[in-house]
Structure 1
């Protein structure tokens, strides 16, 4: 059975959604791209599942991975200067864009490790067990 995850369940997820809300809306094609394979489409699909109360841990994980991949530091898809220029209320202030990228990257990585780590390690594996062998 799928375990539903909502923004009320996870403060980091709620914070990431708040950060995404600071960016242009999903209809801003010049920011998010166009088509069914656009960054906005990918982010939007997972966000809609989560915000409608149907999202599970895989939706949170994918949303966080998309933020890291497409909005995180050093990405080539939506670079930091475009985020800075489009950050609502910041009037192009570079420090705000840098802070947004840092905060979003840190929050997304926290979510990825929270929701992916059990899959990477296996559900029943003991933490650090590889270091105890030998």
Structure 2
């Protein structure tokens, strides 16, 4: 699921780069494509809190949830300020290009794993388990 979320985020970033470099960026287009990228981030972020109950004792779960939420929000604040500095110095397209560059290798891995799974499924058992 995380790789699908990265794919959604990458598509949104690439679309924003193309629209910005083509000078067709309007507030509505920016809002829609930021929503697409945010949807990918939300799908990716949902998995972060799930293993928390397995990592801490039941009596400390509430404190761990609060600490996890605070550290996540602090990280989001720093990321937003760093991205704001990047947009101010390099421009909007550069910020979205950085997002695309950051997620592109993971998308390539997702495609390679999917291709390997298709090859393994279609191969006869003698070839799939050959040493």
TM-score range, shorter chain: 0.3 to 0.5
Relative contact order (C-alpha < 8 Å, sep 6+): which is higher? 2
Q: Of the two, which has the highest radius of gyration?
A: 2
The alignment's TM-score, normalised by the length of structure 2, stands at 0.34
TM-score, structure 1 as length reference = 0.33
